[in-house]
Amino acid sequence: MPVGQARPLHPLTSPASSLPFSSPPGTPFRPSRGDNGRGWYELYKEAGPEGFKRYRPPTPFDWSPPSTATPPSEAPRRSKVFLGISLDKEPLGRIVLELADDILPLAAENFRLLCQGAGREGGREGGKTGLGYAGSRIHRVVKGAGIVGGDLSTARAPPSSGAIRPRQRQGGAGNHSGLGPRFFPDESFQIPHTGPGLLSMVSAGAHRNGSVFHISTHACPHLDGRSVVFGRVVGGVEVLEAVANTYTIRGRPVAVVRVEEAGVMEAE
């Protein structure tokens, strides 16, 4: 083309045979760095907005009890724990959680110990005991995702109670497991974040689970493969909703949302 001559403009519409890819309608397509975007336009025109969806929700985990054909001695036993929540010292009620002890025993044991106030620090067989969720705060509320708690450095426990706080570390964050070591590994990601009411660990990285937890209020596919889901809400949904709807500034509740009490439910 001679210098100075304008390049002719071509319409975006073109026959299907000239598309830079061949995909059935609804199949996601990610163009390379060198593509000019026409592939995206053609896919959008043919498949509509559905053509841009790359995420396919996984099948929700089946929490139903085992069939009656399973002998009672072989049936999995799942423990239940509770978190008593207050909002500016006004009690809201309890959130009751069922733990998947049969699938993720390590995460379930850690959470259960912290609910009992029997968490250990400084070694699995020794060290101080008394780490627990009682007195800690729900320090973050993510609108459209869930609530976050379990920072043990926010615990409000009098010295005479015997409860301890984890040693202050970088940033003062009290993310410490109740199993002895500060972190414990990821066990499995087989339960996806497909809806509200799912209890998962807030990981500080691969195999770095401590005490900080997340309870979802919506599906959170961005956490799949990153956070271990090990429980679900079976009671106190209205309490979870009240915390999720509290006013926040940059994710931090303006009101003081605190875990006043925590413990293990008696077996039925």
Locate the domains of the chain by residue range. Answer: 24-52, 80-264
Q: Mean of the pLDDT values across residues 233-238? A: 95
Are residues 71 and 53 in contact, defined by beta-carbon separation less than 8 angstroms? no
41: CB partners within 8 A, 6+ apart? 12
Q: Mean of the pLDDT values across residues 132-150? A: 94
pLDDT for residue 121 is more than 80: no
Confidence at 155, pLDDT banded by 50, 70, 90: confident
Q: How far apart are CA 25 and CA 194, in angstroms?
A: 25
Are residues 165 and 155 in contact, defined by beta-carbon separation less than 8 angstroms? yes
Number of CB atoms found within 10 A of residue 225's CB: 11
Share of the chain above pLDDT 70, in %: 65
Backbone angles phi, psi at 95, to 5 degrees: -100, 120
Q: Which amino acid is at 13?
A: T
* End-to-end Cα, the chain, rounded Å: 84
Residue 91: beta bridge partners? 86
pLDDT for residue 12 is more than 70: no
Task: Give 172's DSSP letter.
Answer: G
Q: pLDDT tens digits, residue range 78-116?
A: 999 999 999 999 999 999 999 999 999 999 999 999 999
Q: pLDDT tens digits, residue range 168-199?
A: 433 335 888 888 888 999 998 999 999 999 99
Q: Which CATH superfamily is domain 80-264 in?
A: Cyclophilin-like (2.40.100.10)
Are residues 197 and 159 in contact, defined by beta-carbon separation less than 8 angstroms? no
The pLDDT, as a whole number, for residue 65 is 67
pTM > 0.75: no
Q: Mean of the pLDDT values across residues 26-50? A: 52
pLDDT for residue 21 is more than 70: no
